[in-house]
Amino acid sequence: MTATGAARAATTNHRYAFILLGSLQAVLIFTLTAIIVPLPRIAHEFGLEHANLILLSAAYGLSFTGLLLFGGRLADRYGGRRALTSGIVLFTAGSSAAALAPDIGPLLAARFAQGAGAALIAPAAMAVLRSVFPSPTAYGRAMGTWGGLSVLGATLGNLLSGVISSLLSWRWAFAVPLVVAVAALALAPRLLPDTPPSRGRTLDLPGALLATAGISLASYGLVATDARPWSSAGVLVPLLGGAALFGAFLIAERHARDPLLPPRFLLDQRRAFALAAIALSACGTALTFVVLSLHLQQAREWSPLQTSAAFVPFAAALIASGRAAQPLISRYGARAVTTAGLGTGAAGLAHLALTGLDAHASYPQGLLPGLLLLPAGTAASFAGAAVLATTGVPQERTGLAGGVLNTAMEFGPTVLLAILLTLGSDASSLAATGAALAAVAVLNHRAK
């Protein structure tokens, strides 16, 4: 084979590897949001009370978010591909069990297992991606595209959940993640490089336990605000307990020989700005899905299928902006693209808030402009922030960067929606977690 032919073959292999890893990243967030619309039907089939619905909607996000930092350490310690494969096996088992669950108990366990597998897959995928594109320039270009995959997955989950719940059983919502996971298991040995482990690194189990328990408890406390006031023991105990554990984690990390999350890792100004941008962008997307899903089905009495169809332009704008983001980053820089994306997304949110929620406004005038501006800005800000968050990170800490990036993306919407529930949700009960939060109580009476 000539040098030119070998280069083309390598480029093709890299492209297929990126498609495989990107599909996994997108399906992780798809799995988070795909259960939104089917929740009322699950409640009807299993005879669930509102408290069980809250836990069901939160189960995946709790284990996903709580275990991400430890998942990143495992990826760095044992090698990205090994951690990725282990995560896919667990995710596949959880998806299969969820589709076949006979009752709420097995379904909850399956959702927790899915989240635990996702917490391994997300940072490990970024670690493997670094091996696929070892050049800093090539890796930066790859991250420019990678940044928008999560919000694309959330959008597809929101779209397809309405179609699935209208035409098929809710159990088919788990078919997409199951098919992608099985395909990834078959293709990974052929397409992905065998990333070397970092033998000199420890797991920092005390730090992992403190971080996981702290994030999980705090997340559960925020989710519990849906059904209880902030002053209740059911909210205060997990919130304060989570804060105390996370404070202990930060103290322990200062004295650890090989900390799970080095304090200086978050002090880099570029990385801090990137993580804030990711959290804000994820908040805007989650808020839009929740509020518009409620508004369209409650105020306008649209069907789940019509509601999903309303987000088709959102998905189209997201894909178009994601494709344009990488060239813009190369020309203007990641910080400028991130900033412009945040401004564009904010304009889209403002339009939706001021015009889109008017029940008398037409779809083209009231909703469509916001459903184009918001995803265009979100895709750009995610892409630029992903580049900023990983710039200068050594290869042996790529898993850590992936864990921190995904934690910001999952935890931000949970905080925002808990605050908004407290300020303005007196007629609707929303079960909140991660990148999308479910309109449970409002839809529940419709299923019955």
Domain that holds residue 395: 8-189+203-447
**pLDDT per residue over 325-367, tens digit each?**
888 998 999 999 999 999 999 999 999 888 877 777 888 888 8
**pLDDT per residue over 45-92, tens digit each?**
888 776 677 778 778 888 898 899 899 989 988 988 999 999 999 999
pLDDT at residue 192, rounded to an integer = 92
Backbone angles phi, psi at 439, to 5 degrees: -85, 90
- Domain annotation covers residue 119: yes
pLDDT at residue 428, rounded to an integer = 40
Q: Is the pLDDT of residue 204 over 50?
A: yes
pLDDT at residue 37, rounded to an integer = 66
- Domain annotation covers residue 198: no
Q: Is the pLDDT of residue 445 over 60?
A: no
Rounded to an integer, the average pLDDT of 292-316 is: 81
A 10 A CB-CB count for 155 gives 31
Rounded to an integer, the average pLDDT of 408-436 is: 54
pLDDT at residue 121, rounded to an integer = 95
Residues above pLDDT 70, as percent of the chain = 87
Return all residues near 323 (Cβ < 8 A) that are at least 6 apart. Answer: 145
- Domain annotation covers residue 122: yes
Question: Alpha-carbon distance 85 to 91, whole Å?
Answer: 10
Count the domains in the chain: 1
Q: Is the pLDDT of residue 319 over 90?
A: no
**pLDDT per residue over 114-148, tens digit each?**
999 999 999 999 999 988 988 888 888 888 888 77
- Domain annotation covers residue 194: no
pLDDT at residue 398, rounded to an integer = 87
pLDDT at residue 434, rounded to an integer = 33
Four-point Cα dihedral 343, 349, 353, 354, nearest 10: 40
Stated as kind and residue range, the H or E segment containing 72 is helix 50-78
Rounded to an integer, the average pLDDT of 232-251 is: 90
- Domain annotation covers residue 197: no
Question: Alpha-carbon distance 423 to 225, whole Å?
Answer: 11
- Domain annotation covers residue 149: yes
User: Whose structure tokens read 């070397």?
Assistant: 196
Question: Alpha-carbon distance 142 to 129, whole Å?
Answer: 8
CATH number at residue 302: 1.20.1250.20
pLDDT at residue 86, rounded to an integer = 96
Question: Alpha-carbon distance 96 to 114, whole Å?
Answer: 10
Q: Is the pLDDT of residue 5 over 80?
A: no
- Domain annotation covers residue 1: no
Residue 336 carries which side chain, given as an amino acid letter?
Answer: A
- Domain annotation covers residue 163: yes
**pLDDT class of 427 with cuts at 50, 70, 90:** very low
pLDDT at residue 372, rounded to an integer = 93
Backbone angles phi, psi at 432, to 5 degrees: -115, 135
CB 166 within 8 A of CB 45: no
Give the tokens for residue 46: 């299993």
pLDDT at residue 122, rounded to an integer = 93
**pLDDT class of 438 with cuts at 50, 70, 90:** very low
**pLDDT per residue over 406-420, tens digit each?**
888 877 776 766 666
**pLDDT class of 186 with cuts at 50, 70, 90:** very high
Radius of gyration of the chain (CA): 21
